[in-house]
């Protein structure tokens, strides 16, 4: 066989994602607030788009296992959009073959709920936003000008303020600060004393003991006994109360009073100014109970602008276009506007369809609480509504549902299951955690429950768990071992 260049023709099939399909996938995964930002960009780039008056909201009515869709799903879209494409008016579902990347089956356990406001309210005020409170550094810098008369001392103090962590502690040594700034160690100590005199009391401390000591001095409670207590906080953490009491030289009543005073101090004074920032969680889906026992499910229209095509403006511009290129550009903008409105409509119907199925599957949770949360996977929901898992995953990403029990991420309702004693069905991991927490909260301080005891008590409730599984769930909800809880309750009993 001769070796040389040649031309071959090959025929093959491949699936190519169009830009519109990629855009549809992107829209499906965005939250309402992100959609609002996306629409703002679309309005700037397309002169034919404008915000229309919001249509009257018709919720999805959920009654037991029978879910009747809102008119959003059953009625045609805007006449301008649906001309010639009525057959495509259906919830957006993406086939697996089109999305062989970025898949997420989501069959595991998801994060905890995020609550907004007390349960039972009609819903949070969507208009509420953070007030932009000062952070810790700004709050301290504002006080330096009035406290420091020496510009050199103020400069060093401001440098120290910038070194504080979010809890208000100084993570570097004064010797390092003095070397960095080229000042005497005594000047760095004087600047630190200035910082520690600012509000809130306790900032600028280099250890927990020093932070609490600053607050005790401010409260005029820093006597020798309290100083000895603060010097031996490790004994307090280990629960060696009799030894600590002897070291302080006080009786039971005075020791209990000292512990009570210690509890009133703030171990992390800087955190009151660093509240985690971030945008507030705004629900995308609203769930309300009806008088007949069913559920009303609707999208949060407050954060979902309604787009329309300005037809009269299109006709006016087309009549004024003499150039063929301008007419082609205008036609492209009209097609883009029509497609975007169509895609947003399909997105809404898909979200409502998925949310309705979640409410149907987790009806016990919405009526009775976390103890009735069922194991649920993306596959279960996908099979129930005839969509692919990847579509369900995108719908539930960054979406929040507000109900009378609070605001929850949609992924919260997808949780792994644990075995049941009778061997049938099972319970969700969140329900097991709730049961463990209830048992520990109700335990007698004189009879702390061990993990083995918890296993037996949970088995009596119908949960078949191994001891290591109970320990894992206990630690996941922030509860210590029986030894740690015994020490904590011993301390609590000395109030």
pLDDT tens-digit series, residues 336-387:
889 888 888 888 899 999 999 999 988 888 988 887 888 888 898 999 999 8
Give the pLDDT score at 355.
92
Residue 251 has pLDDT above 70, yes or no: yes
Query: How does residue 286 score in pLDDT terms, banded at 50, 70 and 90?
Result: very high
**pLDDT at position 130, please?**
39
For CA atoms 381, 386, 391, 395, the dihedral sign is: negative
Higher-confidence residue of 89 and 215: namely 215
Q: HSE (CB half, 13 Å, CA atoms) of 270? A: 22
pLDDT band at 94 (very low <50, low <70, confident <90, very high): very low
Q: Is 51 helix (H, G, I), strand (E, B) or coil?
A: strand
Residues 6 or more apart from 151 whose CB is under 8 A from it?
Answer: none
Distance (Å, whole) CA 283 – CA 288: 13
Strand 60-63 relative to strand 66-68: parallel, antiparallel, unpaired?
A: antiparallel
Residue with tokens 């008056």: 53
The rounded percent of the chain whose pLDDT value lies above 70 is 79
Which whole number is the average pLDDT over 156-160?
89
Q: Which residues fall within 8 angstroms of residue 244, CB to CB, at 6 or more apart? A: 229, 232, 235, 236, 255
Q: For 51-60, 77-86, 368-377, which range has the lowest pLDDT when averaged over its residues?
A: 77-86
How much is the pLDDT for 239? 77
CA distances from 12 to 15, 98, 319, 472 (A): 10, 17, 45, 52
Question: Would you call the peptide bond into 394 cis, given omega within 30 degrees of 0 as the criterion?
Answer: no
Q: Residue 414: what are its φ and ψ, rounded to 5°?
A: -100, 105
Please report which confidence band the pLDDT of residue 234 belongs to, taking 50, 70 and 90 as the band edges: confident
Supply the pLDDT for residue 103.
33
**pLDDT band, residue 425 (cuts 50/70/90):** low
Note the Cα 259 to chain centre separation in Å.
35
- Report, as an integer, the average pLDDT of 148-152: 80
Tell me which of 402 and 117 has the higher pLDDT: 402
Comparison of pLDDT for 495 and 267, the residue scoring more:
267
The pLDDT value recorded for residue 354 is 92
Cα separation of 475 and 226, whole Å? 33
Relative to beta strand 285-289, strand 49-52 is unpaired
**Alpha-helix residue ranges (DSSP H) falling in 123-184:** 136-147, 151-163, 174-181
Q: How far is CA 322 from CA 80, 198, 257, 312, 317, in A?
A: 24, 71, 89, 18, 10
Q: Residue 227 contacts by C-beta under 8 Å, 6 or more apart in sequence?
A: 213
Whole-angstrom distance, CA of residue 451 vs CA of residue 43: 59
Q: State the CB neighbour count (10 A cutoff) for residue 467.
A: 13
Residues 432 and 144: beta-carbon distance below 8 Å: no
Q: Phi/psi class of residue 59: alpha, beta or left (left: φ > 0; alpha: ψ in -120 to 50)?
A: beta
Length of the chain: 495
CA 391, CA 453: separation in Å to the nearest integer?
A: 43
Closest-CA residue to 300 (of 126, 107, 49): 126
- Whether 32 contacts 282, CB under 8 Å: yes
Residue 353: predicted pLDDT: 92
Task: For residues 77 and 56, give the distance between their C-alpha atoms in angstroms, rounded to a whole number.
Answer: 14
Radius of gyration for the alpha carbons in the chain, expressed in angstroms and rounded: 31
pLDDT band at 426 (very low <50, low <70, confident <90, very high): low
* Mean pLDDT taken over the chain: 77
d(CA 142, CA 110): 42
Query: What's the pLDDT at 104?
Result: 36
Cβ 359 vs Cβ 293: under 8 Å: no
Per DSSP, helices labelled H in 291-323 are: 311-320
Count other C-beta atoms under 10 Å from residue 463's C-beta.
Answer: 22
Q: What is the pLDDT of residue 72?
A: 39
Instruction: Judge whether 50 and 343 are in contact, CB under 8 Å.
Output: no
**Alpha carbon separation from 280 to 117, 139, 317, 401 (Å, rounded):** 12, 23, 41, 14
Which pLDDT value is given to residue 73? 40
113 or 344, greater pLDDT: 344
Query: How does DSSP classify residue 444?
Result: B
Cα of 227 vs its chain's centroid, Å: 41
User: Is 70 exceeded by the pLDDT of residue 270?
Assistant: yes
Q: If you average pLDDT over residues 481-491, what whole number do you get?
A: 74
In angstroms, rounded to a whole number, what is the distance separating the alpha carbons of residues 149 and 134?
24
In 3-state terms the chain splits into helix, strand, coil percentages (rounded to 5) of 50, 10, 40
Alpha helices in 362-442 (DSSP H): 363-368, 378-385, 389-396, 429-441
Residue 257 has pLDDT above 70, yes or no: yes
Residue 92 has pLDDT above 70, yes or no: no
């Amino acid at each position: 066989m001769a070796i040389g260049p040649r031309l071959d023709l090959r025929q093959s099939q491949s699936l190519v994602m169009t830009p519109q399909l990629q855009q549809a996938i992107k829209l499906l995964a965005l939250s309402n607030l992100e959609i609002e930002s996306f629409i703002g960009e679309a309005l700037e780039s397309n002169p034919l788009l404008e915000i229309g008056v919001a249509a009257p909201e018709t919720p999805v009515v959920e009654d037991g296992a029978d879910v009747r869709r809102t008119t959003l799903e059953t009625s045609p879209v805007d006449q301008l959009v649906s001309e010639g494409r009525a057959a495509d008016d259906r919830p957006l579902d993406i086939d697996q073959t089109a999305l062989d990347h970025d898949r997420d089956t989501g069959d595991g356990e998801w994060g905890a709920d995020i609550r907004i406001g007390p349960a039972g309210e009609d819903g949070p005020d969507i208009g509420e936003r953070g007030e932009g409170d000062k952070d810790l550094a700004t709050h301290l810098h504002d006080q330096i000008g009035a406290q420091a008369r020496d510009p050199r001392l103020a400069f060093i103090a401001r440098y120290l303020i910038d070194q504080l962590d979010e809890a208000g502690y100084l993570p570097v040594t004064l010797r390092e600060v003095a070397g960095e700034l080229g000042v005497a160690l005594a000047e760095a100590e004087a600047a630190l004393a200035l910082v520690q005199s600012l509000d809130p009391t306790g900032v600028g401390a280099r250890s927990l003991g020093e932070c609490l000591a600053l607050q005790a001095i401010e409260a005029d409670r820093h006597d020798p006994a309290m100083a000895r207590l603060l010097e031996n906080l490790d004994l307090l953490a280990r629960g060696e109360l009799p030894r600590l009491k002897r070291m302080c030289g006080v009786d039971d009543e005075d020791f209990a009073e000292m512990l009570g005073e210690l509890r009133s101090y703030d171990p992390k004074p800087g955190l009151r100014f660093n509240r985690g920032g971030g945008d507030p969680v705004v629900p995308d889906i609203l769930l309300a109970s009806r008088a007949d026992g069913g559920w009303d499910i609707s999208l949060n229209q407050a954060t979902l602008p309604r787009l329309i095509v300005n037809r009269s403006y299109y006709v006016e511009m087309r009549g004024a276009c003499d150039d063929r290129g301008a007419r082609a550009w205008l036609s492209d903008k009209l097609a883009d506007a029509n497609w975007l409105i169509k895609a947003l409509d399909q997105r809404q119907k898909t979200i409502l369809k998925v949310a309705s199925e979640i409410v149907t599957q987790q009806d016990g949770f919405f009526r009775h609480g976390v103890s009735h949360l069922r194991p649920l996977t993306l596959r279960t929901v996908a099979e129930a509504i005839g969509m692919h898992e990847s579509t369900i995953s995108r719908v539930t990403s960054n979406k929040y549902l507000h109900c009378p029990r609070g605001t929850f991420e949609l992924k919260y309702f997808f949780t792994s299951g644990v075995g049941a004693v009778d061997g049938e069905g099972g319970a969700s991991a969140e329900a097991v955690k709730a049961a463990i927490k209830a048992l520990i909260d109700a335990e007698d301080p004189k009879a702390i429950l061990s993990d083995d005891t918890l296993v037996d008590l949970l088995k009596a409730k119908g949960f078949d768990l191994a001891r290591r599984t109970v320990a894992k769930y206990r630690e996941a909800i922030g509860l210590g071992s029986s030894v740690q809880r015994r020490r904590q309750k011993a301390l609590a009993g000395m109030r």
